Amino acid sequence: MQSFQPPRRILMGPGPSDVSPRVLAALARPTIGHLDPDFQALMEEIKAALQRLFNAPDHACVPLPAPGTAGMEAAMMNLLEPGDRAVVAVNGAFGGRMADMAGRAGATVVTVDHEWGRPVDPARVEAALAEAPTKVLAFVHAETSTGARSDAASLCGLARKHGALSVVDCVTSLGGIVVDAAAWDADVIYSGTQKCLSAPPGLSPIAISKQAQAAIRGRKEKVRNWLLDFNLLMAYWGGPDGSGGGGRTYHHTAPINALYGLHESLVAIFEEGVQAAVVRHARMHEALVAGLEAAGLEMLVEPKDRLPQLNTVRVPDGVDEAAVRTHVLNAWDLEIGAGLGPLKGKVWRIGLMGASATPWHVRLCLTALCEALAAQGVKTDAAAAVAAADARLR
Ligand SMILES: *Cc1c(COP(=O)(O)O)cnc(C)c1O
C-alpha cells in the first residue's frame, strides 16, 4: 500500500463543500483522551456554540458521532414508538428518507407528498395533522435534492398547534440561511458538518427541546438503537446529572479529531458572523443565477423558494448531463452534483456552501460550465456570463 493523496478538487456539489485550511489544520492536531479535562472543556464549548448557532438556548445540543443521517435517525428513533402517528412532508429525497425511518421506528406514517422542486405546503400538512392525534411532524427545511426552501416557522407552529413534536432537517440550511430554533419553537433540529459548516462529513449537530426531552424520558419502551439513545448519550455529553459539569460516564469514544474540526469551523463562523455568512450565501447565489441566466440556462425552483446554497439548473434539451459533469471535473477539477430520483438526468445541482460560497467559485463554475456546454455544441457566452455575475458582486 501507499499513502492516499487525494486529487485537487473544488467542491460545488450538494456536499461535501470545500474545507478551509484552518479546519484541516485543526483536524491534524494531536489526539488526546476523550475523558481528558481539556477535551471535556472543548465538548462544553461545542455544546454552547451549537446552542448559539441553532439559536436554541433552551435545547440540549450535541454533535452526534456520525453524518447528517444520524441526526435524522436519532430524531425518529428517540421520539417515535410503535403505534405512534407521524406526519412526514415529502418534497424530495430526504423527506422520503425521513418517512422510511419513521416507519422503521414502528410509527404509522402519513406522508404529504409534493412535486419535487416545490416547498412544503403548510395547508396540506395542517389537513393531515387535523385528521388524527399525531406524535411527530417531520419535514426538511432545505431540500438538497431539489433546491427548495420550506417555511419552517409555519410548519413548527402547526405542529405545536396540533400537539405534535416537530422534527426539522437543517442539514443543508444551518450556516447558509437563517435557522432559528427558538423563534420557530422547533423540537428536534439536526444538521451535518459537510454542507454550510464546511467541515468534513462525519458529525451531526442536533438540538432537542425540553418538550422533546420529556417525551423521550416518558417512553413506554427503550429506544431501539443504542448509540443514538438520547438518554444514554446525555450521560456522556451532559454529565450523569445532566448538568454538564464533568463527571462524564463512558458511553462511546467521541471522534476526537473530528470534533477539533467542528470546533474550528464554529470559531470561523462566529468570526465572520452568522448573519454575515447568510448574506454572503445570498449574494453568491444572486451572482451565480445572473451568470447562469446570461448563459441561457434556467433554474428549476421558483425565485421565492430558492435555496442560495443549492442551485438546481435545468439541463438544456439535447445536452448530455453526465458528460458536462465529467468535463468540468477533468478540465477544471470542479465537482457539481447530478439530479436524484425524478430529476435524474434533468438537472445539475450546484452547491454554494460555506467555504465554497465565494466570488472565485462563482466565476470558476460559470466559466467551466460554459466551456463544457460549448463542447456539446451549445453556444454560450462565458465572458457575458461572468460579467453578469460580476455586476451582482460589485
Ligand atoms: C446531506 C443531507 C442529509 C444527509 O446527510 P449525510 O451527512 O449525507 O448523512 C440529510 N438531509 C439533507 C437535507 C441533506 O442535504
CATH class (in words) of the domain with range 20-270: alpha beta
Report the relative pairing of strands 204-208 and 337-338 from DSSP bridges.
unpaired
Q: What angle do CA 283, 286, 287 make, to 5 degrees?
A: 85
Among 141, 144, 309, name the best residue to mutate to test ligand 1's pocket (greatest count of ligand atoms within 8 A of Cβ). Answer: 144
For residue 326, the CA-to-ligand 1 centroid distance in Å is: 23
DSSP string, 156-217: HHHHHHTTPEEEEE-TTTBTTB---HHHHT-SEEE--SSSTT-S-SS-EEEEE-HHHHHHHH
Residues 25-76 have pLDDT tens digits of 999 999 999 999 999 999 999 999 999 999 999 999 999 999 999 999 999 9
CB-ligand 1 contact for 64 (6 Å cutoff) = no
Among 146, 149, 195, name the best residue to mutate to test ligand 1's pocket (greatest count of ligand atoms within 8 A of Cβ). Answer: 195
pLDDT of residue 187: 98
Among 11, 17, 64, 69, name the best residue to mutate to test ligand 1's pocket (greatest count of ligand atoms within 8 A of Cβ). Answer: 69
Average pLDDT over residues 4-11: 97
pLDDT of residue 249: 80
pLDDT of residue 234: 85
Instruction: Give yes or no on whether 20-270 and 274-393 have one common fold.
Output: no
155: cell is 410548519
Q: What angle do CA 337, 342, 348 make, to 5 degrees?
A: 20
Report the relative pairing of strands 108-113 and 85-90 from DSSP bridges.
parallel
For residue 261, the CA-to-ligand 1 centroid distance in Å is: 18
Residues 181-209 have pLDDT tens digits of 999 999 999 999 999 999 999 999 999 99
pLDDT of residue 239: 61
Given the CA of residue 69, which atom of ligand 1 is nearest to it? 9
Confidence of residue 240 (pLDDT cuts 50, 70, 90): very low
> Which residue's CA is the closest to the ligand 1 atom numbered 6?
68
d(CA 246, CA 24): 28
CATH of 274-393, one of 3.40.50.2300, 3.20.20.70, 3.90.1150.10, 3.30.43.10: 3.90.1150.10
pTM to 2 decimal places: 0.97
Domain boundaries defined on the chain: 20-270, 274-393
d(CA 375, CA 124): 45
Q: DSSP label at 2?
A: -
For residue 167, the CA-to-ligand 1 centroid distance in Å is: 14
For residue 36, the CA-to-ligand 1 centroid distance in Å is: 31
Is 245's pLDDT higher than 70? no
Q: Which residues contact 224 (CB under 8 A, 6 or more apart)?
A: 77, 105
pLDDT of residue 250: 87
SS3 for 383?
helix
Residues 347-363 have pLDDT tens digits of 999 999 999 999 999 99
Average pLDDT over residues 274-300: 98
349: cell is 445541482
> Which residue's CA is the closest to the ligand 1 atom numbered 14?
171
Phi first, then psi: what are they for 20, rounded to 5°? Answer: -70, 155
Confidence of residue 242 (pLDDT cuts 50, 70, 90): very low
Q: Are residues 278 and 178 in contact, defined by beta-carbon separation less than 8 angstroms?
A: yes
Longest dimension (CA), the chain: 66
Percent of the chain with pLDDT over 70: 98
Q: Mean pLDDT, the chain, as a whole number? A: 96
For residue 296, the CA-to-ligand 1 centroid distance in Å is: 30
